[in-house]
Chains A and B, each alone.
Chain A
Amino acid sequence: MVHWIFALITLIAVSIATIVQDIRRAIFAFWVAGLAVGAIYLSLGAEFLAIFQWLTSTLVTTSLLFFAVLFGENGKLPKEKFQYSIARRSSYSKLLVGFAIILGISFASLVWLGVSGLSLPVSLPAGENDLVGLGKKLSGDHFISLQVLTLTLFLVLIGAGIIARPEKRHQGDEI
């Protein structure tokens, strides 16, 4: 039952992330969607994936927000709208902080009351939990996949560094 609530939250957040024009609100909506998907994973018995999903969606949101601020995605506001915008942002911020506190307390309460009550009966191999099964599969059957993935991440890291490097300007070039 509880994963349907999180599925509804996911749908609403994904719709907001797709429709809303302001990129920062879209990023926040994407973050809520990621957290809700992590909660769905938790209710489906995938504890490790749930924690990984929460961490990655927070990481992705942080970096996207950082770059949105860096690139000035909101643009410049007209002077007459500036004061009004500051007031609106303040009320939005209070709402956002209140929502985050309620969400955090709810999650903490759920975990404190017992996460096992949330989980569906999923049949894992006898004597194994999610993490043990994943570790055995990763180091056994899917070891080549893991190697290919780590190589891909390494190449992406080098490629991103090369793409984003500053261009050296020669003397006489137009700036």
Chain B
Amino acid sequence: MIMGLAGIVGGMGLICIISRRTLLGIMIGIQLLFLGASIMFVAGGIISGAVIEGHLFGLFIAIGGIAQLGGGLALAVRLFYLKNTIQVDQLQSLKQ
């Protein structure tokens, strides 16, 4: 059942990525996807008996999520600097 929760959280993140039109909204979706993956690894570790490994990979995924946030926010700053908006519909190139 916890696996099901992880799947729903990840699926909602995917829907969020597809439906949102701003970079911040897309980043929320990606974070939800990371959250679902992290829950899945922790629950999988408990189910399979490798508890510590599950915790460890959950930790790695959470740190990967922070790295994604750093890159995404830098892209958003760049986009806002060039286009004065963070709507991805207007994103054709990052060149000036």
Contact = CB atoms under 8 A, between A and B. Distances in A.
Interface string B6-49: 00110011011001001011011101100100110011001001
Nearest to B5: A7
Contacts of A153: 63, 66-67
B2 interface: yes
A123 B52 CA distance: 10
Main secondary structure of the interface of B (DSSP, over half): helix
B8 A30 contact: no
A103 B49 CA distance: 33
Nearest to B53: A137
Contact of B71 (A7, A45, A156, A166): A156
Interface size class of A (residues with CB under 8 A): 35 or more
A18 B19 contact: yes
Contacts of A137: 52-53, 56
Contact of A56 (B1, B53, B66, B74): B66
Contacts of A161: 74
B32 A14 contact: yes
Contacts, number: 150
A138 B1 CA distance: 29
Among B22, B56, B75, B96, residue most surrounded by chain A Cβ atoms (within 10 Å): B56
Among A15, A37, A153, residue most surrounded by chain B Cβ atoms (within 10 Å): A37
A14 B8 contact: yes
Nearest to A16: B12
Nearest to A138: B56
A163 B25 contact: no
Given A11-B5, A60-B31, A160-B70, A124 B51 contact: yes
Interface of B: 1-2, 5, 8-9, 12-13, 15-16, 19, 22, 24-25, 27-29, 31-32, 35, 38-39, 42-43, 46, 49, 51-53, 55-56, 58-60, 62-67, 69-71, 73-78, 80-81, 86, 96
Given A37-B35, A60-B31, 4 more contacts: A41-B58, A63-B73, A163-B77, A163-B78
